[in-house]
């Protein structure tokens, strides 16, 4: 029973973080939207493979966009 409660709590917290992150990512709404989306995916990735894939994809894109060009 405790495992189901922990899993349900992770799903609810991860979902709330993703929804808040999407709202805060809208134009003219201040806040750390993308950071909350990434945090929500991190929480959900312990339960769902699709969340793990999205988290990995977003992390790879972040690294690709922030690396410095060689030269």
Tens of pLDDT, residues 24-50: 988 888 888 888 999 999 999 999 999
Distance of CA 17 to the CA centre of its chain: 7
For 3-28, what is each residue's pLDDT tens digit?
999 999 999 999 999 999 999 988 88
Q: Where are the alpha helices (DSSP H) in the chain?
A: 2-24, 33-44, 49-66
Q: What is the mean pLDDT of residues 51-70?
A: 88
- For the record, the structure tokens of 2 come out as 């405790």
* CA dist., res. 9 & res. 18, Å (int): 14
Report pLDDT for 71.
Answer: 58
Alpha-carbon distance 60 to 20, whole Å? Answer: 22
Give the global pTM. 0.78
């Amino acid at each position: 029973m405790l495992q189901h409660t922990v899993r349900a709590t992770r799903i609810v917290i991860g979902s709330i973080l993703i929804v808040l992150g999407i709202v805060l990512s809208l134009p003219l709404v201040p806040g750390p939207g993308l950071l909350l989306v990434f945090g929500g995916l991190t929480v959900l990735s312990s339960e769902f493979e699709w969340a793990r894939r999205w988290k990995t994809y977003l992390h790879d894109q972040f690294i690709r966009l922030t690396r410095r060009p060689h030269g």
